[in-house]
Amino acid sequence: MTTDRLSTTATLPISYLFVPGNRPERFAKAVDARPDAIILDLEDAVHPDSKAASRAAIWVWQEKTPFTGCQRYIRLNDVNSRFFAQDMTWLGDMRYPERCAGIFLPKAECPETLSRVVERLRAWNPDLQIVAIIETAKGLQQVEAIAGIPGVTRLAFGSLDFSQDIDCRQIPEAFLFARNRIVLASRAACLPAPIDGVTPALSDMAVVARESHDARALGFGAKLCIHPAQLDTVQRAFLPDAC
């Protein structure tokens, strides 16, 4: 039986395109590239000295740009970082919360902490899609509990940070256990199929296609992108008839 937590699967993005928060000239260009969603990034893509300017740039763009069909997500900083409290204060003061479709929470590890954060975010916008990114060994150990947090609507795999955390090579064999566990945790919690991590290759679409098809075959339903050139390849790989 399909539960309420799975009922929005058909409307969820397949391709998510990261845009650094400190590059506001790219925001509209990212939308024009026609991903299913953009992720305005405050975390890895932004130098610590540029965090405040990134928040200001996102604020201005959100204020002046009504929803145009491309869903907008924001990736906040890690809940354990010194920037997270600033992110939450900034987000709570932002007008038009309905213009933000969702939030990505990086380095998800502690279910109790995440539960409190999700509760605050849903108070700001009850319709918010909240994606927990599993990208550490500790996060993977807690993935079932994280998937079961009320208000968490999808999981994502942060494969690059995961490889750094466990000191492994970025090869499919090294990620297989983590990917399988994230897929199974999503299904057991009645969440939509999770989002696979980025492919660093920017110009080799054969690599993007191979990694996308591999993720789709394992049960993932979407993929994070770091360049507009990757979007069409990712989109084709994750369509229902692509397997």
User: Which residue ranges are tagged as binding site?
Assistant: 75, 135, 161
Give me 101's structure tokens: 């479709």
| Residue-level length of the chain | 243
Tokens of 26: 């790219």
DSSP string, 183-230: HHHHHHTTPPP-EE-----SS-HHHHHHHHHHHHHHT--EEEESSGGG
Decide the pairing of beta strands 222-225 and 195-196.
parallel
The whole-angstrom separation of Cα 121 and Cα 95 is 14
Nearest partner of 220 among 175, 189, 186, judged by Cα: 186
Annotated binding-site positions for substrate: 75, 135
Tokens of 75: 């990736």
Q: Please state the residue numbers annotated as binding site for Mg(2+).
A: 135, 161
How far apart are the C-alpha atoms of 205 and 16, rounded to whole Å?
A: 16
